[in-house]
């Protein structure tokens, strides 16, 4: 939970109790396309984990299972709470899902109303909603934007507001789908710093391997609906053969220069 006296600390300690647990998850779309083939995953509180792989690997499908948008066969628990029809409202308060396109999350006339939407639908008192909005906007460095119109903001600003909308729900884990997509270099660097400093567990689906290098200690590779590799990001990012086998590039090749 994000407390009002929370100190932002990039070195958030990691314990070994699974905050997210997935066992033998399978999923096929109505057209018969199989997207997940027996996924097993455990993420501890405090970890920042990159989820990488080629297009069609199942990354986005997996993210949409975390708060019940999609429902496959298998076991999913968030902070010990099984994801089921009965627990969806509780699970969705614990998992903050941030989409690739912030326009999918921003629809109100003002930034304040967008960020307040979730807490209001939790039935919180007006003063508690106000406090959550102010706290969330402060965490993303957008406190002065509360009365701005979201559709007039830059892509980088919209992404920060989209993150604030889920922070206002006080989640226990943040799940991102391509957070750096569409950003110019300055906005991308600012976003990476923001995510690095947020004291929350994260699962980040991305093709941005340089971002993985800067943000995540652990990396998971998915391909054809399965987890095919799971290990230390620094080690895996230096394994060019492994990355190329799964349609990925090392960060230095991605940038066209070796550090």
Per-residue pLDDT tens digits for 44-65: 999 999 999 999 999 999 999 9
* 166 pLDDT above the threshold of 50: yes
* HSE (side-chain half, CA atoms, 13 Å) at 144: 1
**DSSP code per residue over 63-106:** HHHTTTSS--EEEEEETTEE-SGGGHHHHHHHEEEE-SSGGGT-
The answer to whether the CB of 19 falls within 8 A of the CB of 9 is: no
* 2 pLDDT above the threshold of 80: no
Cα–Cα dist 237/259, whole Å: 13
| Residue from 155, 195, 197 nearest 175 by CA | 195
Show the tokens assigned to 99: 């989409």
Q: Give the pLDDT of residue 23.
A: 97
The answer to whether the CB of 105 falls within 8 A of the CB of 118 is: no
Q: What is the pLDDT of residues 95-111, one digit of tens each?
A: 999 999 999 999 999 99
Q: Give the pLDDT of residue 258.
A: 41
| Residue from 90, 68, 61 nearest 227 by CA | 61
Mean pLDDT across the chain: 90
Query: What are the C-alpha distances in Å from 49 to residues 34, 124, 253?
Result: 24, 31, 21
* 8 pLDDT above the threshold of 50: no
Q: Give the pLDDT of residue 256.
A: 52
pTM over 0.75: yes
Identify the sign of the CA torsion 52, 75, 100, 225. positive
* 11 pLDDT above the threshold of 90: no
Query: What are the C-alpha distances in Å from 10 to residues 127, 199, 206?
Result: 29, 6, 20
For domain 47-57+92-247, the CATH architecture is 3-Layer(aba) Sandwich (3.40)
Q: Give the pLDDT of residue 10.
A: 41
Q: What is the pLDDT of residues 228-244, one digit of tens each?
A: 999 999 999 999 999 99
Q: Give the pLDDT of residue 117.
A: 95
| Residue from 200, 206, 238, 240 nearest 222 by CA | 206
Between CA 181 and CA 188, with CA 183 as vertex, the angle to 5 degrees is 100
Q: Give the pLDDT of residue 9.
A: 41
- Kindly list the domain boundaries of the chain, sorted by start residue: 47-57+92-247
Cα–Cα dist 4/7, whole Å: 9
Average confidence (pLDDT) over 84-88: 91
Q: Give the pLDDT of residue 255.
A: 53
* CA terminus-to-terminus distance, the chain: 38
| Residue from 61, 25, 27 nearest 40 by CA | 25
Q: Give the pLDDT of residue 207.
A: 93
Q: Report residue 201's pLDDT band, with 50, 70 and 90 as the boundaries.
A: very high
In the chain, the percentage of residues whose pLDDT exceeds 90 is: 85
* 39 pLDDT above the threshold of 70: yes
In the chain, the percentage of residues whose pLDDT exceeds 70 is: 90
Q: Give the pLDDT of residue 155.
A: 96
């Amino acid at each position: 939970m994000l407390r009002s006296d929370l100190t932002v600390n990039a070195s958030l300690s990691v314990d070994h109790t699974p905050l997210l647990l997935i066992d033998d998850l399978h999923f096929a779309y109505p057209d018969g396309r199989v997207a997940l083939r027996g996924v097993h995953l455990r993420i501890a509180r405090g970890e920042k984990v990159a989820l990488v792989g080629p297009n069609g690997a199942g990354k986005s499908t997996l993210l949409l299972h975390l708060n019940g948008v999609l429902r496959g066969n298998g076991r999913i628990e968030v902070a010990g709470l099984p994801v089921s029809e009965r627990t969806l409202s509780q699970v969705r308060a614990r998992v903050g899902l941030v989409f690739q396109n912030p326009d999918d999350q921003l629809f109100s006339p003002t930034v304040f109303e967008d960020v307040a939407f979730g807490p209001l639908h939790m039935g919180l008192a007006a003063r508690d909603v106000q406090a959550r909005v102010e706290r969330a906007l402060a965490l993303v460095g957008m406190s002065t934007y509360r009365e701005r119109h979201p559709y007039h903001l830059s892509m980088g600003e919209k992404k920060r507001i989209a993150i604030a909308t889920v922070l206002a729900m006080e989640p226990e884990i943040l799940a991102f789908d391509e957070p750096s997509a569409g950003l110019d270099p300055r906005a991308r660097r600012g976003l990476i710093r923001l995510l690095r400093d947020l004291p929350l567990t994260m699962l980040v689906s991305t093709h941005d391997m340089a971002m993985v290098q800067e943000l995540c200690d652990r990396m998971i590779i998915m391909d054809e609906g399965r987890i095919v590799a799971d290990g230390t990001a620094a080690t895996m990012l230096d394994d060019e053969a492994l990355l190329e086998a799964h349609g990925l590039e090392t960060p230095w090749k991605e940038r066209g220069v070796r550090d």
